[in-house]
Structure 1
Amino acid sequence: MSQRKWWRVGLAACAVALVTSGCGAGGSDDSGSASSAGEAAPARDQAAAPGAAEKPGADANQGAPPNAGAPVKFRLEDRAIIYTGSLSVRVEDVNAAATEATSIATAVGGFVGGDKRSSNDRYAEATITLRVPAPRFTAVVDQLAKLGEQQQRDVNTEDVTEEALDLDARITSQRARVDSGRRLLAQAKTLSELVTLEGELAKREADLASLEAKKRRMADLTALSTITVTLLAPGAKAPVEEEEKEEEIGFLAGLKGGWTALVASLSVLLTVLGALLPWFVALAVPVFGALWLARRFRRPRTVTPVPPAPAPPAAPAP
């Protein structure tokens, strides 16, 4: 055979060898994939079976809810909210309006927490504090505003849901501590142990009573809202809310402040002088009288001077 034919035969043999090796590799890969799939299927079935999570090596978070770490969301009806409100209403008859306001509160299951009234020839005014159920808070405020001409309204809310939950948890824990203290007290064998455990138990019971009192107070504030209504006669002045004013600066502001301070200082000085003047008068009369008497008795007597004797005549010169 010629050299060219030998090259052709060699190339053909190489091509056949490459094709054969590629098919063998593909077959081995396919068989490996099939075996892996066959092993994974029973594993999935085993994981899906009941009690698979309890076996060693199972994922600890497999049975956890999807939002286990998310914050707890409360519905509006489950929240603990404290409602407080105040309003001023100008009415024609203060006493009649006060009676009607009391009737509005008692009709929804509330009561009167305070009633303060004042009147004279010029004006009449009544301040009534009402406690009404929280679900009827808004309706009662609207009814009170219709008693006359509304002058001012202020409604505030405070969400104490987190505080209430924390207080419940603390009460539960404190009750467990009290029960534990009582069991230990029942097992005391010596007098010293008895005295020590009684003191500790008394402290725990006092803390529990304090927490329960806070819980009752919070429950009262969330269950019953507070409304303070001020009823004004036609001639009474409406309460004005204090507004923050910007601080005035400059020459005129300084002059005004200095004049105000001067007037205030003079007022204080005159007040002090007016308070001391009766004391000065009461003390001046006896003091001046004593000084006058002392000068009168100590006055020196008048002495008549004696004229000097005449000088002797001078001797004549020799």
Structure 2
Amino acid sequence: MKAICFSLAVVTLMACHPRSEKEQESKVTYSDLIVAAADEAPGAQNYLTPPAETDRKLIREARLEMDVASLKNISDSVSVLLRQYQAYASNEAQENQRYDLRKTMTIRVGEAQFEPMMKRLETLATRIVERSVTTQDVTMEYTDLQARLRSKKELEVRYHEILKQAKTVKDMLAIEEQLGTTREEIESMEARFKRMTNLTTYCTLDVVFIQRLQAPPTGFAQEFSVALRNGWRSVMNAVLACVSVWPWAFVGFAVIGFVIRFRKRRMAQVG
């Protein structure tokens, strides 16, 4: 009798055990899977390791302003340097002022060629007016962004795997919403990462070439003479401006005369 009761108890326990596992599985929703996927995705801190000295990411910018003998000759020399150092000019403009001609260029050059190209450009000058160099270390920011981007991509893969297992429309919509948000974050991070990679790969060199045409006035007598000429020019400009609006002045006087005559006639009729 005891043996029979023991057998029945064992069978009952075995029958209850799989049912309890099924009940536990049925309680797990796709929302829980989404949260679990986000929790299981490796964080950025798992990738952050102290960078080696050779792997440092630097943003280097410089400004070089200098006097030159001829802008035409400078343009030819700079074109040769751009080819030699595998650089390129992203912006270029020329401005003609009263006392000088100015040519402004923004040059992008590789980090290894940055210093050599600056030295070669300085040899083209008759006088260095300004020279400044700034260096920004963005190694940790670059590494952190790279790690978070990798983490988001792995999270996107997990969401796709969960989406394949979804059975209802509600679950599919919930997962697709998370996929859309994750994809937007990935695209934003990729744009930032691409821009930072470009800034650390190519250094920015702003160069201003100045060709002096005439020395600016110095001394009280010369400055007084320039002030007189400027004052006379202002008077002439004012006179020309008045003359240029004579048609409107004529129309205005005609309207005013018509209004005065009309009012006089009305007053005469009333009187």
- TM category, shorter: 0.5 to 0.7
- Residue 288 of structure 1: which of 252, 260, 265 is its match? 260
Q: Give, as a single letter, the amino acid of the residue that structure 2 aligns with 1:192.
A: K
Larger radius of gyration: 1
Tell me which residue corresponds to 1:115.
92
Alignment of 1:1-318 (within 5 A): 74-119=51-96, 123-148=100-125, 149-235=127-213, 278=249, 281=253, 283-298=255-270, 300=271
- Distance 1:163-1:153 versus aligned 2 partners, 3 A rule: same
Structure 2, unmatched stretches of 5+, are 1-47, 217-237
Q: Which has the higher contact order (CA 8 A, sep 6+)?
A: 2
- 1:145: Cα distance to partner? 1.4
2: CA distance, partners of 1:202 / 1:75: 36
Q: Give, as a single letter, the amino acid of the residue that structure 1 aligns with 2:260.
A: F
CA contact (8 A) 1:125 1:236 kept: no
- 1:282: Cα distance to partner? 5.8
1: CA distance, partners of 2:258 / 2:155: 78
CA contact (8 A) 1:80 1:164 kept: yes
- 1:112: Cα distance to partner? 1.4
Match of 2:132, SS state, is strand
Q: Give, as a single letter, the amino acid of the residue that structure 2 aligns with 1:141.
A: M
- 1:192: Cα distance to partner? 2.2
Larger helix percent:
2
The number of residues matched between the two structures is 194
Q: Give, as a single letter, the amino acid of the residue that structure 2 aligns with 1:296.
A: A
- 1:195: Cα distance to partner? 2.3
CA contact (8 A) 2:99 2:215 kept: no
CA contact (8 A) 1:82 1:222 kept: yes
- Distance 1:72-1:169 versus aligned 2 partners, 3 A rule: closer
TM-score, normalised via structure 2 length: 0.64
* RMSD, matched Cα: 2.9
Match of 2:212, SS state, is coil
Identical aligned residues as a percent: 22
Structure 1, unmatched stretches of 5+, are 1-70, 239-269, 301-318
1: CA distance, partners of 2:253 / 2:196: 63
Query: Which stretch shows the higher mean deviation, 73-82 or 107-116?
Result: 73-82
Match of 1:92, SS state, is coil
TM-score, normalised via structure 1 length: 0.55
CA contact (8 A) 1:98 1:128 kept: no
Match of 1:233, SS state, is strand
- 1:295: Cα distance to partner? 2.2
- 1:174: Cα distance to partner? 0.7
- 1:288: Cα distance to partner? 1.1
2: CA distance, partners of 1:282 / 1:193: 80
1: CA distance, partners of 2:105 / 2:164: 53
- 1:207: Cα distance to partner? 0.7
- Distance 1:120-1:162 versus aligned 2 partners, 3 A rule: closer
- Distance 1:198-1:112 versus aligned 2 partners, 3 A rule: same
Tell me which residue corresponds to 2:4.
none
CA contact (8 A) 1:111 1:131 kept: yes
- Cα-to-partner distance string for 1:270-304 (whole Å, 9 max, x where unaligned): 9xxx99x9586465223212112112223x4xxxx
